[in-house]
């Protein structure tokens, strides 16, 4: 993000007046590589291609705040391999990780990874180090520490179904996993901040909390996520949860989050009522059905129907209700930007 974009985002968090509703998009390898016409494998493994694709995107869409912006990530295998999971890299498709916890004995052997040496983490740090000067020459800076949340990490170590079952059958075991994963996340955030002094934002990707009921959320999500956000002293505390988010929204203020990317299945005013006035709401265009598969008129009509009823458009960041999907064409993003200018704050 440029200095001007970062100031715009911090002003948004502070509730300061803007001329029109700003646009921000959460983009990663699948959309960027598809949009640029390169394979996902090339994007993930070639520094030059990674830098060039991101450069093209920020120059083609100067009115969009791309979050996290020049993001070093390997999708869902960014964090779990630090714990020893096996990485699977298909030639055509998303990388994935095999679970490593099959019994309580496996949990007893689980230890907190070293964020400086383990898994894919050194590659993520080095990608940014190797390209930092080029990024800054383009007028951008590394603004965000990024991580998956402890529940999402644990779900890859244990298995998604097994983790949901563990909330009811083996809560003590699950708390042990989540405690280790949370301490790891805090270390990983601190290491990124130590390495890049320009970081002043935190992005936590935690969809799994959206699958929990109210009591399980309080038991298995709230205390660990609070600990993570409390550990971060930067300006922007950004939570992505595009699974079912009504329970999450009720606890946004308690979590300390001030930027929330939520599911398109929830209306903006619905989330505002639950989350309160102090958080920036980022959404909520359907990423696949409207932004990718719809027409420009569909995009325009959805935005109008979402923003027109709002009596207060402060702290609204127009976006997809989740990650930008593959096959979202440039003209759709142009339509988002053009439509946003028609709505004053």
- pLDDT by residue for the chain (345 residues), tens digit each? 999 999 999 999 999 978 899 999 999 999 999 999 999 999 999 999 999 999 999 999 999 999 999 999 999 999 999 999 999 999 888 999 999 999 989 999 999 999 999 999 999 999 999 999 999 999 999 999 999 999 999 999 999 999 999 999 999 999 999 999 999 999 999 999 999 999 999 999 999 999 999 999 999 999 999 999 999 999 999 999 999 999 999 999 999 999 999 999 999 999 999 999 999 999 999 999 999 999 999 999 999 999 999 999 999 999 999 999 999 999 999 999 999 999 988
**For residue 239, is it within any domain?**
yes
- Which residues is 75 bridged to in the sheet? none
Q: Is the peptide bond prior to 61 cis by the omega test (within 30 degrees of 0)?
A: no
CATH number of domain containing 293: 3.20.20.210
pTM of the model: 0.97
State residue 264 phi and psi, 5-degree precision: -65, -15
Taking CA atoms, 327 is separated from 34, 283, 330, 332, in Å, by 7, 19, 9, 10
If one counts every other C-beta atom within 10 angstroms of the C-beta of residue 92, the result is 7
pLDDT of the residue at 29: 97
**Is 147 within the bounds of a domain?**
yes
Number of domains observed in the structure of the chain: 1
Position 21 in a domain: yes
307 assigned to some structural domain = yes
What count of residues does the chain have?
A: 345
255, part of any domain: yes
Contact at 8 Å (CB) between 140 and 1? yes
The answer to whether residue 256 is domain-embedded is yes
Provide the domain limits for residue 262: 3-340
CA dihedral in degrees (44, 60, 143, 239; nearest 10)?
-80
Rounded Cα–Cα distance for residues 44 and 215 (Å): 39
Helices assigned H by DSSP within the chain: 3-13, 29-36, 40-45, 47-60, 104-108, 121-137, 150-158, 160-169, 171-195, 214-216, 222-231, 246-250, 252-255, 268-275, 296-307, 330-340
- Cα-Cα-Cα-Cα torsion 107, 125, 225, 182, nearest 10 degrees, comes to 20
Domain assignment present for 165: yes
Q: Is residue 345 part of a domain?
A: no
Give me the pLDDT at residue 17, please. Answer: 75
């Amino acid at each position: 993000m440029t200095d001007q974009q970062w100031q715009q985002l911090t002003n948004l968090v502070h509730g300061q007046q803007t001329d029109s509703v700003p646009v921000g998009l959460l983009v990663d390898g699948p959309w960027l590589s598809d949009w640029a016409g390169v394979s996902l494998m090339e994007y993930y493994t070639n520094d030059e291609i990674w830098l060039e694709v991101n450069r093209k995107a920020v120059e083609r869409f100067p009115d969009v705040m791309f979050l996290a912006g020049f993001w070093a990530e390997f999708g869902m295998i960014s964090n779990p391999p630090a714990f020893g999971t096996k990485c699977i890299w298909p030639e055509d498709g998303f990388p994935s990780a095999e679970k490593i916890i099959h019994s309580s004995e496996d949990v007893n052997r689980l230890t907190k990874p070293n964020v400086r040496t383990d898994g894919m983490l050194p590659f993520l740090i080095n990608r940014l180090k190797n390209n930092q000067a080029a990024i800054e020459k383009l007028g951008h800076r590394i603004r965000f520490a990024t991580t998956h949340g402890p529940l999402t990490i644990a779900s890859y170590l244990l298995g998604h179904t097994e983790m949901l079952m563990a909330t009811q059958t083996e809560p003590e075991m699950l708390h042990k996993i989540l405690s280790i994963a949370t301490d790891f996340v805090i270390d990983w955030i601190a290491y990124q901040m130590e390495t890049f002094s320009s970081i002043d934002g935190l992005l936590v990707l935690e969809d799994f909390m959206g699958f929990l009921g109210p009591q399980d959320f309080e038991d298995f999500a709230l205390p660990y996520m609070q600990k993570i956000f409390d550990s971060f002293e930067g300006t922007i505390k950004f939570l992505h949860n595009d699974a079912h988010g009504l329970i999450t929204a009720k606890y946004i203020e308690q979590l300390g989050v001030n930027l929330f990317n939520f599911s398109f299945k929830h209306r903006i005013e619905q989330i505002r009522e639950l989350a309160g006035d102090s958080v920036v709401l980022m959404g909520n265009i359907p990423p696949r059905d409207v932004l990718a598969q719809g027409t420009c008129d569909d995009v325009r009509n959805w935005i109008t129907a979402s923003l027109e009823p709002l009596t207060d458009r402060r702290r609204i960041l127009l976006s997809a209700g989740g990650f930008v999907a593959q096959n979202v064409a440039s003209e759709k993003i142009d339509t988002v930007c053009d439509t946003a200018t028609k709505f004053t704050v």
